[in-house]
């Protein structure tokens, strides 16, 4: 693929050892200097891949986003899509997903999640929560000692230590409460109960009043919320009403326009035109709003099952483009479940599933960018050899000036330089030479050719080319230097001869047939000698 | 400049990479909502500005896109709205067509792109959120690339690196893939709205353009994709399709729901270099010829296909 020496010999044997190997090698070297693409096969993979490091701030934002309870309820694909749209790379998104696992055990302080860590700490926690004095007393001390002993492994033991301290404090307070505070509480409660009997009436009053107040407050809040909801609903409904009225208005206008259309249709029919489809009407003004109203449903482009099933081929534009009137009619029909009447039943299945495609009659052509940039993937399409054929502007001019009918109308340009392409054999036009604009100028400048009878040369080019092309089509990728080398030596040999022969030589070279090359050149020389 | 009238609404037009006067047109009945479809192969007559139809293939469902094979001069591939991909050969008699019907996508196939360097494989972009890789000779897809969260509208091969391609999706991202890798290699969250089309620069393999419902076209350099190289504004509505010129380094053509076809030079301050408003409905398909510099074609929902030379008036 690259323009290095090793692939060159096999390629050259394939194509044509017609030219001397030294010239080829020289050209190779020249090309190698000129092209820094030797390492290209490795580079592309890195160019089209993210090489940015993971941005911690983006990842932490993503983690916050993913930890949100509402986000947790949404499908994973939408979470990923959201993060992608925010500009996170794949690696950052994966890292965020890793940090926020789906089942939430997240009670770990500080350190990264490790499954091994979760289990011992949870077991310690269950121990602590049981709170029976003997094991509690033993456990904290055990844990504390364990914690103090092994502090090198930061994460695991740190957490265990912290949990142990918590458990110890919890146990300690539990013990305290049991032993010291509860008796005091009990005595206090007895006092209070005695007082309570006296104040029962007042308390019962106070509580219900408290409850009443709370209830009243809640009712007031609910009422306020209901008011707000009502108000917003009213606003919505008024908006809807307005919109409906507007739509009605537009519909009326539509109706009027339709009547006008039908009238004009009738007129046309009278004039004898059979114009059946309603689609030829082009009205922009009247359907804009009706389009917008129905477009609202897919304005945001999100997954709406009904809409998708109806194939919203039109874009969900934030600014709704005016759809043709009949488009809206058909959409409405389909949404109602009706089928437009002009659909036929067509069987478009292959009649013979094993049918082979016909043999190609033309070899693939070089792309203009391939030839110009001299990429190594050039020249599978040696046939036309557009890229390497130099064309003097004179010839283009000649075509333009001399014989207008020779160039197809689509090639006539206002610009001086025309691109005249070689056609397939069916089109035996007089134009046979190709131009590539800008031409591939690497090592030599084409001399001004004398005006020659191109057609013969073109024919000469084309004849052997057809067979050459077929062979060429089978080849994979040629080193670019090969093709460039050829014109070099071709030029040397055919310096007197016109461009066409040179280009023909190049074509042949691209085509990769040495034998053809020589015969080509000879033929052209003959033709020119005849001239 | 000649016009070709199609019975159905136009969806896509593509020049043949072999014959400079040949084009394929994808059309769908009833705007592609529901109905039949037809693929037209048309030919430009050299002497007079007339377009002739060489052959047409009817399909049960609308045709959303069409692509010419780069290996066989008579073979073309059609993306059908029922999720299938049909392969046609114009050199075979009509009753032998289609060659194949590849049915794997769960939803409409919206975009097709044939590999211009390897010439043996093509991609299909579908509304079922996936992109599939196919070759002509195999009955099933080679690869399925499923990462987008919404419809994939278009896929485009890199013109230099035969294994790299990009996909544009309604999830507002452009993804760059390498067929040698299992997943996407790069995600460009290019727009705030759906991205309808993407295309690579033919002369600079690291530049890619994306066209979106937000009416803009953005040019990105994949080496620094956080900030676009250029933003092209000027369309009045969503931009439906873009294509980099095969002949000029900085030229982009675009067509939009504002019914115009625009030419841009993104390296220039005032990027809009041409505007053609010949269509009377949405302009949904546009293409530049690989073989003839400056030759362009467009089609739209007004059922017309225009072919003209850059700088000339398509309706002349």
Neighbouring-strand partners of residue B252: B244, B264
Q: What is the number of residues in chain B?
A: 316
The verdict on a CB contact (< 8 Å) between B71 and A360 is yes
Mean pLDDT over residues A224-235, rounded? 89
pLDDT digit string, tens, across residues A365-394: 888 888 765 544 444 444 333 433 333 333
Using a CB-CB cut-off of 8 Å, the residues of chain B touching A360 are 71-74
Please determine, for residue B255, whether its predicted confidence score (pLDDT) is greater than 60.
yes
**Residue where the block lists tokens 């691109």:** A419
The verdict on a CB contact (< 8 Å) between A48 and B281 is no
Q: How confident is the model at residue A267 (pLDDT cuts 50, 70, 90)?
A: confident
Highest-confidence range of A19-28, A122-131, A230-239, B67-76, by mean pLDDT?
B67-76
Please determine, for residue A112, whether its predicted confidence score (pLDDT) is greater than 90.
no
The alpha carbon of residue A109 is apart from the nearest alpha carbon of chain B, in Å, by 34
Q: Is B17 on the interface with A (CB under 8 A)?
A: yes
pLDDT of residue B83: 94
- Mean pLDDT score of chain B: 93
pLDDT of residue A215: 85
Domains of chain A, each with CATH number or no CATH: 56-99 (1.10.10.10)
Structural contact between residues B81 and B28, judged by C-beta atoms closer than 8 angstroms: yes
The alpha carbon of residue B219 is apart from the nearest alpha carbon of chain A, in Å, by 15
Please provide residue B153's backbone torsions phi and psi, each rounded to the nearest 5 degrees. -95, -30
pLDDT digit string, tens, across residues B150-193: 999 999 999 999 999 999 999 999 999 999 999 999 999 989 99
Q: Is B36 on the interface with A (CB under 8 A)?
A: yes
Please provide residue A368's backbone torsions phi and psi, each rounded to the nearest 5 degrees. -60, -30
pLDDT of residue A413: 60
pLDDT of residue B17: 94
Please name the helix (run of DSSP H) or strand (run of DSSP E) that holds residue A527, with its range, or none: helix A514-530
Using a CB-CB cut-off of 8 Å, the residues of chain B touching A348 are 57-60, 80, 86, 98, 101
For the residues of A406-475, what is the DSSP string, one character each? GS-GGG--SSS--------TT---S------SS---SS--PPPPPP--HHHHHHHHHHHHHHHHHHHHH-
Question: Taking the domains of chain B in order of start, what are their residue ranges?
Answer: 3-309
**Cis preceding-peptide flag for A512 (omega within 30 of 0):** no
Using a CB-CB cut-off of 8 Å, the residues of chain A touching B92 are 355, 357-358
The alpha carbon of residue B253 is apart from the nearest alpha carbon of chain A, in Å, by 17
Task: Pick the more confident residue, A423 or B81.
Answer: B81
Nearest CA in chain A to B256: A321
Q: Is B222 on the interface with A (CB under 8 A)?
A: yes
Structural contact between residues B37 and B61, judged by C-beta atoms closer than 8 angstroms: yes
pLDDT digit string, tens, across residues A278-311: 333 334 433 443 444 444 433 343 434 443 444 5
Task: Pick the more confident residue, A426 or A144.
Answer: A144
Sign of the C-alpha dihedral, residues A199, A200, A204, A205?
negative
The verdict on a CB contact (< 8 Å) between B309 and A419 is no
What span, in angstroms and rounded, lies between the C-alpha atoms of A239 and A128?
60
The verdict on a CB contact (< 8 Å) between B72 and A77 is no
Q: Among residues A176, A146, A174, which one has the least CA distance to residue A161? A: A146
How remote is the C-alpha of A95 from its chain's centroid?
Answer: 22
Low-confidence winner among A233-242, A335-344, A485-494, B289-298 (lowest mean pLDDT):
A485-494
Cα angle A217, A220, A225; round to 5: 125
Task: Pick the more confident residue, B127 or A381.
Answer: B127
Structural contact between residues B1 and B16, judged by C-beta atoms closer than 8 angstroms: no
Within 10 angstroms of residue A426's Cβ, the number of other Cβ atoms is 8
Mean pLDDT over residues B245-270, rounded? 93
The verdict on a CB contact (< 8 Å) between A421 and B291 is yes
- Mean pLDDT score of chain A: 62
The verdict on a CB contact (< 8 Å) between A321 and B223 is no
pLDDT of residue A353: 84
- Give the pair of three-digit tokens for residue A1: 């693929």
Pick the CATH number of B3-309 from 2.130.10.10, 1.20.1050.90, 3.30.950.10, 3.30.70.120: 2.130.10.10
pLDDT of residue A193: 85
Sign of the C-alpha dihedral, residues A20, A23, A29, A30?
negative
Q: How confident is the model at residue A397 (pLDDT cuts 50, 70, 90)?
A: very low
Q: Is B89 on the interface with A (CB under 8 A)?
A: yes
Structural contact between residues B278 and B306, judged by C-beta atoms closer than 8 angstroms: yes
The alpha carbon of residue A44 is apart from the nearest alpha carbon of chain B, in Å, by 7
Q: Among residues B178, B72, B164, B171, which one has the least CA distance to residue B127? A: B171
Low-confidence winner among A498-507, B21-30, B251-260 (lowest mean pLDDT):
A498-507
Q: Among residues A11, A5, A99, which one has the least CA distance to residue A56? A: A99
Q: Among residues B33, B305, B174, which one has the least CA distance to residue A84? A: B174
**Alpha-carbon distances of A169 from A121, A132, A148, A385, rounded to whole Å:** 16, 14, 16, 87
Please, is A129 exposed, middle or buried when counting C-beta atoms within 10 Å of its C-beta (0-12, 13-18, 19+)? exposed
The alpha carbon of residue A483 is apart from the nearest alpha carbon of chain B, in Å, by 17
**Alpha-carbon distances of B302 from A320, B5, B11, B305, rounded to whole Å:** 18, 9, 10, 9
Within 10 angstroms of residue B11's Cβ, the number of other Cβ atoms is 29
Task: Pick the more confident residue, B180 or A473.
Answer: B180
pLDDT of residue A501: 46
| DSSP category for residue B97 | -
ipTM score here? 0.85
pLDDT digit string, tens, across residues A158-175: 888 889 999 999 999 888
Mean pLDDT over residues A474-494, rounded? 45
Q: Among residues B153, B144, B117, which one has the least CA distance to residue B241? A: B153
For the residues of A144-187, what is the DSSP string, one character each? HHHHHH--SSHHHHHHHHHHHHHHHHHHHHHHHIIIIIHHHHHH
Name residues 225-284 of chain B within 8 A of A (Cβ): 226, 236-238, 240, 246-247, 257-258, 280-282
Cα angle B253, B259, B264; round to 5: 20
The alpha carbon of residue A345 is apart from the nearest alpha carbon of chain B, in Å, by 7
Give the orientation angle of helix A56-67 with respect to helix A76-85, to 10 degrees.
140
What span, in angstroms and rounded, lies between the C-alpha atoms of B235 and B216?
7
Q: How confident is the model at residue A36 (pLDDT cuts 50, 70, 90)?
A: very low
Task: Pick the more confident residue, A221 or A478.
Answer: A221
Buried b (16+ CB within 10 A) or exposed e, A96-122: bbebbeeeeeeeeeeeeeeeebeeebe
């Amino acid at each position: 693929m690259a323009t290095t020496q090793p692939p060159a010999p096999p390629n050259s044997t394939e194509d044509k050892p017609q030219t001397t190997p030294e010239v080829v090698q020289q050209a190779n070297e020249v090309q190698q200097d000129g092209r820094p693409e030797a390492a290209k096969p490795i580079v592309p993979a890195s160019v089209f891949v993210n090489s940015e490091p993971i941005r911690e701030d983006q990842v932490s934002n993503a983690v916050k986003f993913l930890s949100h309870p509402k986000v947790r309820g949404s499908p994973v694909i939408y979470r990923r899509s959201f993060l992608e749209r925010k500009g996170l790379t794949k690696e950052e998104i994966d890292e965020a997903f890793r940090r926020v696992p789906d089942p939430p055990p997240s009670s770990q302080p500080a350190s990264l999640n490790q499954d091994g860590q979760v289990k011992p700490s949870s077991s310690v926690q269950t121990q602590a929560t049981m709170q029976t004095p003997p094991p509690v007393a033993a456990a904290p001390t055990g844990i504390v000692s364990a914690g103090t002993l092994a502090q090198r492994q930061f994460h695991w033991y740190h957490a265990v230590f912290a949990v142990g301290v918590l458990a110890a404090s919890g146990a300690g307070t539990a013990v305290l409460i049991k032993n010291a505070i509860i008796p005091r509480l009990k005595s206090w409660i007895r006092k209070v109960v005695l007082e309570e009997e006296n104040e029962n009436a007042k308390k019962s009053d106070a509580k219900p009043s408290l409850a009443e107040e709370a209830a009243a407050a809640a009712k007031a809040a609910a009422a306020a919320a209901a008011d707000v909801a009502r108000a917003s609903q009213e606003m919505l409904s008024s908006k809807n009403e307005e919109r409906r009225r507007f739509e009605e208005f537009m519909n009326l206008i539509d109706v009027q326009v339709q009547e006008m259309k039908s009238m004009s249709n009738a007129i046309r029919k009278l004039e004898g035109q059979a114009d059946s489809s309603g689609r030829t009407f082009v009205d922009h003004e009247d359907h804009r709003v009706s389009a917008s109203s129905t477009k609202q449903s897919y304005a945001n482009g999100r997954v709406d099952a009904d809409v998708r099933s109806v194939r919203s081929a039109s874009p969900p534009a934030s600014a709704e483009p005016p759809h043709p009137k009949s488009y809206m009619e058909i959409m409405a029909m389909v949404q109602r479940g009706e089928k437009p009447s002009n659909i036929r039943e067509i069987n478009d299945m292959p009649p013979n599933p094993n049918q082979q495609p016909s043999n190609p009659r033309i070899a693939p052509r070089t792309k203009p960018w391939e030839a110009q940039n001299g990429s190594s993937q050039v020249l599978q399409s040696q046939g036309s050899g557009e890229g390497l054929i130099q064309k003097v502007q004179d010839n283009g001019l000649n075509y333009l000036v001399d014989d207008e009918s020779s160039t197809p109308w689509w090639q006539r340009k206002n610009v001086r330089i025309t691109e005249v392409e070689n056609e397939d054999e069916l089109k035996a036009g007089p134009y046979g030479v190709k131009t590539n604009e800008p031409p591939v100028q690497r090592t030599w400048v084409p001399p001004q050719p004398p005006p020659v009878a191109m057609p013969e040369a073109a024919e000469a080019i084309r004849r052997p080319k057809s067979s050459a092309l077929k062979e060429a089509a089978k080849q994979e990728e040629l080193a670019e230097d090969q093709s460039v080398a050829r014109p070099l030596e071709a030029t040397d040999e055919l310096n007197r001869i016109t461009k066409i022969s040179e280009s023909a030589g190049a074509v042949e070279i691209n085509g990769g047939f040495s034998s053809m090359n020589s015969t080509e050149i000879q033929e052209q020389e003959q033709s020119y000698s005849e001239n | 400049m000649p016009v070709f009238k199609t019975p159905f609404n136009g969806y896509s037009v593509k020049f043949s990479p072999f014959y400079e006067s040949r084009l394929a047109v994808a059309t769908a009945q009833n705007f592609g909502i529901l109905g039949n479809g037809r693929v037209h192969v048309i030919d430009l007559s050299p002497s007079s500005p007339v377009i002739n139809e060489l052959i047409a293939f009817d399909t049960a469902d609308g045709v959303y896109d069409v692509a010419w094979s780069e290996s066989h001069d008579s073979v073309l591939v059609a993306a059908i709205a029922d999720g299938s991909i049909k392969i046609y050969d114009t050199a075979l008699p009509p009753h032998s067509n289609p060659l194949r019907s590849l049915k794997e996508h769960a939803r409409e196939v919206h975009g097709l792109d044939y590999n211009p360097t390897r010439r043996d494989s093509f991609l299909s972009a579908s509304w079922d959120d996936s992109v599939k890789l196919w070759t002509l000779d195999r009955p099933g897809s080679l690869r399925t690339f499923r990462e987008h969260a919404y419809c994939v509208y278009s896929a485009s091969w890199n013109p230099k690196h035969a294994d790299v391609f990009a996909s544009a999706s309604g999830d507002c991202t452009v993804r760059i893939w390498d067929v040698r890798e299992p997943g996407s290699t790069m995600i460009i969250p290019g727009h705030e709205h759906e991205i309808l089309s993407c295309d690579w620069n033919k002369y600079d393999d690291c530049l890619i353009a994306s066209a979106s419902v937000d009416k803009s076209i953005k040019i990105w350099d994949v080496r620094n994709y956080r900030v676009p190289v250029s933003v092209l504004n000027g369309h009045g509505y969503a931009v439906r399709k873009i294509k980099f010129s095969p002949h000029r380094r900085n030229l982009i053509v675009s067509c939009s729901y504002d019914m115009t076809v625009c030419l841009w030079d993104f390296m220039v301050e005032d990027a809009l270099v041409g505007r053609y408003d010949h269509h009377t409905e949405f302009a949904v398909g546009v293409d530049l010829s690989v073989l003839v510099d400056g030759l362009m074609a467009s089609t739209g929902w007004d059922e017309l296909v225009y072919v003209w030379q850059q700088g000339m008036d398509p309706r002349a």
